[in-house]
Structure 1
Amino acid sequence: MLPSKTHPTGILITALYGSISLAAAVGSTDSFDVLDYVDPLIGTANGGHVFPGATLPFGMAKAVADTVGENQAGFAYDTTVVTGFSHMHDSGTGGSPSLGNFPIFAQPSCPNDDINQCKWQLNDRAVVWKRDSAKARPGYFSISLANGVQAEMTTTNRSALYRFTFDGASSESLSPVVLVDLIDLPQSRTNGFADVDSSNGRLTGNGTFNPSFGIGSYDLHFCVDFKGAELRDTGVWTKNRANTTRKTVSLRADGTNSPDTLSAGTFARFHAPKDNTILARVGVSFMNVKQACANAEREQPNFDFDGTRSAAEDAWRKKLSVVSVDADGVSKDLQTVFWSGAYRSLISPQDYTGENPLWESDEPYYDSYYCIWDSYRSIHPLLTLVDPLSQSLMMRSLLDIYRHEGYLPDCRMSLCKGYTQGGSNADVLMADAYLKKVDGIDWDTAYEAVVKDAEVEPANWNVEGRGGLQSWKSLGYIPTDDYDPYGVGTHTRSISRTVEYAYNDFCIAEMAKGMGKQADYEKYTTRSGNWAHMFKEDQKSSINGADTNFTGFLQPRYTNGTWGYQDPIFCSPLLNFTSCYLNPSGHETYEGSSWLYTFYAPHDMGALIKTLGGAEQFTSRLEFLHESGLLYVGDEQAFLTVFQFHYSGRPALSAKYSHFYIPSQFNTTTAGIAGNDDSGAMGSFVMLSMMGLWPVPGQDVYLITPPYFKEVSIKNAVTGKTATIRNVNFDANYKSIFIQSAKLNGEAWSKNWLTHDFFTQGGVLELELGLTESKWGTQTEDLPPSLSNYHK
Structure 2
Amino acid sequence: MPALRASLVALIPLLLHLTTSTQDDLHYVNPLIGSTAGGNVFAGASLPYGLAKPVADVDGQNTGGFATDGSNVTGFSHMHDSGTGGNPSMGQFPLFPQYCPDNVIDNCKFPKGARATHYVNDSVTARPGYFALELVNGIKAEMTAARRTALYRFTFPDASAENGERLDPLILLDLTDLWDSRQNASITIDADSGRIQGNGTFLPSFGAGSYQAYFCADFAGAKVCDSGIWVNDRAGSEPKELFVTRGFNNFYLQAGGYISFDRPNNGMVTVRVGVSYISTDQACSNAESEVSDPLNDFETLEEAARTAWREKLSPIKITPGGVSHGSLSAFWSGIYRTMLSPQEMTGENPLWESDEPYFDSFYCLWDEFRAQLPLLTVIDPQAQSKMVRSLLDTFKHEGWLPDCRMSLCKGWTQGGSNADVVLADAYVKNLTGIDWELAYKAMVNDAENEPLEWSYEGRGGLQSWKKLHYIPYLDFDYLGFGTNSRSVSRTVEYAYNDHGIALVGKGLGTTDYMTYLSRASNWKNLFKADQKSFLENGTDTGFTGFLQPRHLNGTWGFQDPIACSALASWCSLTSNPSETFESSIWEYLFFVPHDMASLIKLLGGSDSFVKRLDYFHTSGLADISNEPVFLTVYEYHYAGRPALSAQRAHSYIPRTFNESNNGLPGNDDSGAMGSFLAWSMMGLFPNPGQNVYLISPPFFEAVEITHPETNKTATIRNTNFDSTYQNIYIQSAKLNGKPYTKNWIDHEFFTEGMTLELMLGDKESNWGTSKEDLPPSLSDVLAQDEVQ
TM-score class, shorter-chain normalisation, is over 0.9
The answer to whether residue 110 in structure 2 is matched with residue 120 in structure 1 is yes
Q: Which residue of 1 aligns with 2:96?
A: 105
The 8 Å contact of residues 26 and 330 in structure 1, kept in 2 or not, is answered as no
Q: Which residue of 2 aligns with 1:211?
A: 204
Letter in structure 2 aligned against 1:156: A
1:286, distance to aligned residue in structure 2 (A): 0.4
1:218, distance to aligned residue in structure 2 (A): 0.4
Letter in structure 2 aligned against 1:406: G
CA 1:234/1:169 → structure 2, altered by over 3 Å: closer, same or farther? closer
Stretch deviating more after TM superposition (122-131 or 454-463): 122-131
Paired residues, number: 761
Same amino acid, percent of matched pairs: 57
Q: Which residue of 2 aligns with 1:478?
A: 471
Q: Which residue of 1 aligns with 2:751?
A: 760
User: Unpaired segments of 5 or more residues in structure 1?
Assistant: 1-24
The answer to whether residue 457 in structure 2 is matched with residue 464 in structure 1 is yes
1:521, distance to aligned residue in structure 2 (A): 2.1
Q: Which residue of 2 aligns with 1:339?
A: 332
Distance in 2 of aligned mates of 1:221 and 1:706: 49
1:79, distance to aligned residue in structure 2 (A): 3.5
Q: Which residue of 1 aligns with 2:5?
A: none
1:638-675 deviation line (CA, Å, top 9, x unaligned): 00000000000000000000111000001111111011
Question: What is the SS of the residue equivalent to 1:234?
Answer: strand
The 8 Å contact of residues 77 and 670 in structure 1, kept in 2 or not, is answered as yes
Name which structure has the greater RCO, CA cutoff 8 Å, separation 6+: 1
Distance in 2 of aligned mates of 1:145 and 1:673: 27
Select 2:400's aligned residue among 403, 407, 412: 407
1:718, distance to aligned residue in structure 2 (A): 1.0
Distance in 2 of aligned mates of 1:28 and 1:385: 24
1:540-592 deviation line (CA, Å, top 9, x unaligned): 1122222111100000100111101111111111122x1x1113851111111
1:253, distance to aligned residue in structure 2 (A): 4.6
Select 1:597's aligned residue among 581, 588, 593: 588
Q: Which residue of 2 aligns with 1:17?
A: none
1:35, distance to aligned residue in structure 2 (A): 2.1
Distance in 2 of aligned mates of 1:547 and 1:730: 41
Q: Which residue of 2 aligns with 1:510?
A: 503
Stretch deviating more after TM superposition (585-594 or 651-660): 585-594
* Residues 631-650 of structure 1: pairs in structure 2 closer than 5 A: 631-650=622-641
Q: Which residue of 2 aligns with 1:3?
A: none
Letter in structure 1 aligned against 2:514: E
Q: Which residue of 2 aligns with 1:200?
A: 193
1:378-404 deviation line (CA, Å, top 9, x unaligned): 110010011001000100000000000
CA 1:179/1:110 → structure 2, altered by over 3 Å: closer, same or farther? same
The 8 Å contact of residues 569 and 595 in structure 1, kept in 2 or not, is answered as yes
CA 1:398/1:242 → structure 2, altered by over 3 Å: closer, same or farther? same
1:142-200 deviation line (CA, Å, top 9, x unaligned): 01002221000000100000000112465982411111100001111011000110001
The answer to whether residue 142 in structure 2 is matched with residue 149 in structure 1 is no
The answer to whether residue 181 in structure 2 is matched with residue 188 in structure 1 is yes
Question: What is the SS of the residue equivalent to 1:132?
Answer: helix
Q: Which residue of 1 aligns with 2:766?
A: 775
The 8 Å contact of residues 26 and 331 in structure 1, kept in 2 or not, is answered as no
Question: What is the SS of the residue equivalent to 2:266?
Answer: coil
Q: Which residue of 2 aligns with 1:179?
A: 172
Distance in 2 of aligned mates of 1:538 and 1:431: 35
The answer to whether residue 155 in structure 2 is matched with residue 165 in structure 1 is yes
The 8 Å contact of residues 229 and 256 in structure 2, kept in 1 or not, is answered as yes
1:712-733 deviation line (CA, Å, top 9, x unaligned): 0111111111111111111111
1:281, distance to aligned residue in structure 2 (A): 0.4
1:242, distance to aligned residue in structure 2 (A): 1.0
The answer to whether residue 51 in structure 2 is matched with residue 60 in structure 1 is yes
The answer to whether residue 489 in structure 2 is matched with residue 531 in structure 1 is no
Q: Over aligned residue pairs, what C-alpha RMSD do you find?
A: 1.5
* Residues 623-638 of structure 1: pairs in structure 2 closer than 5 A: 623-638=614-629
The 8 Å contact of residues 43 and 677 in structure 1, kept in 2 or not, is answered as yes
CA 1:31/1:753 → structure 2, altered by over 3 Å: closer, same or farther? closer
* Residues 536-547 of structure 1: pairs in structure 2 closer than 5 A: 536-543=528-535, 544-547=537-540
1:682, distance to aligned residue in structure 2 (A): 0.4
The 8 Å contact of residues 139 and 156 in structure 2, kept in 1 or not, is answered as yes
1:78, distance to aligned residue in structure 2 (A): 1.0
Q: Which residue of 2 aligns with 1:93?
A: 84
CA 1:31/1:747 → structure 2, altered by over 3 Å: closer, same or farther? closer
CA 1:27/1:540 → structure 2, altered by over 3 Å: closer, same or farther? farther
1:254-302 deviation line (CA, Å, top 9, x unaligned): 636x5x6321111111101121101000000000000001101100101
Distance in 2 of aligned mates of 1:434 and 1:668: 35
Q: Which residue of 1 aligns with 2:711?
A: 720
Distance in 2 of aligned mates of 1:30 and 1:48: 29
Q: Which residue of 2 aligns with 1:686?
A: 677
Letter in structure 1 aligned against 2:451: P
* Residues 659-670 of structure 1: pairs in structure 2 closer than 5 A: 659-670=650-661
1:30, distance to aligned residue in structure 2 (A): 8.4
Select 1:245's aligned residue among 238, 246, 251: 238
The 8 Å contact of residues 491 and 584 in structure 1, kept in 2 or not, is answered as no
Distance in 2 of aligned mates of 1:546 and 1:31: 54
Q: Which residue of 2 aligns with 1:439?
A: 432
Distance in 2 of aligned mates of 1:572 and 1:190: 37
Question: What is the SS of the residue equivalent to 1:664?
Answer: coil
Question: What is the SS of the residue equivalent to 1:269?
Answer: strand
Letter in structure 2 aligned against 1:383: L
Select 1:232's aligned residue among 225, 232, 239: 225
Q: Which residue of 2 aligns with 1:317?
A: 310
Distance in 2 of aligned mates of 1:672 and 1:397: 32
1:476, distance to aligned residue in structure 2 (A): 0.5
TM-score (norm 2): 0.95
Question: What is the SS of the residue equivalent to 1:313?
Answer: helix
1:27, distance to aligned residue in structure 2 (A): 10
Distance in 1 of aligned mates of 2:228 and 2:519: 64
The 8 Å contact of residues 204 and 407 in structure 2, kept in 1 or not, is answered as yes
The answer to whether residue 68 in structure 2 is matched with residue 77 in structure 1 is yes
Distance in 1 of aligned mates of 2:723 and 2:342: 34
The 8 Å contact of residues 506 and 603 in structure 1, kept in 2 or not, is answered as yes
1:252, distance to aligned residue in structure 2 (A): 2.5
1:503-533 deviation line (CA, Å, top 9, x unaligned): 000010111111112x322111110000000
User: Unpaired segments of 5 or more residues in structure 2?
Assistant: 1-15, 784-788
The answer to whether residue 107 in structure 2 is matched with residue 137 in structure 1 is no
Stretch deviating more after TM superposition (161-170 or 277-286): 161-170
The 8 Å contact of residues 640 and 769 in structure 2, kept in 1 or not, is answered as yes
Q: Which residue of 2 aligns with 1:277?
A: 268
Distance in 2 of aligned mates of 1:80 and 1:556: 44
Distance in 2 of aligned mates of 1:585 and 1:599: 22
The 8 Å contact of residues 26 and 332 in structure 1, kept in 2 or not, is answered as no
Distance in 2 of aligned mates of 1:249 and 1:548: 64
Distance in 1 of aligned mates of 2:32 and 2:167: 32
Distance in 2 of aligned mates of 1:235 and 1:380: 46
The 8 Å contact of residues 371 and 675 in structure 2, kept in 1 or not, is answered as yes
TM-score (norm 1): 0.94
Q: Which residue of 1 aligns with 2:301?
A: 308
Q: Which residue of 2 aligns with 1:549?
A: 542
Question: What is the SS of the residue equivalent to 1:164?
Answer: strand
* Residues 383-394 of structure 1: pairs in structure 2 closer than 5 A: 383-394=376-387
Distance in 2 of aligned mates of 1:299 and 1:642: 44
CA 1:525/1:77 → structure 2, altered by over 3 Å: closer, same or farther? same
Question: What is the SS of the residue equivalent to 1:572?
Answer: coil
Distance in 2 of aligned mates of 1:485 and 1:268: 56
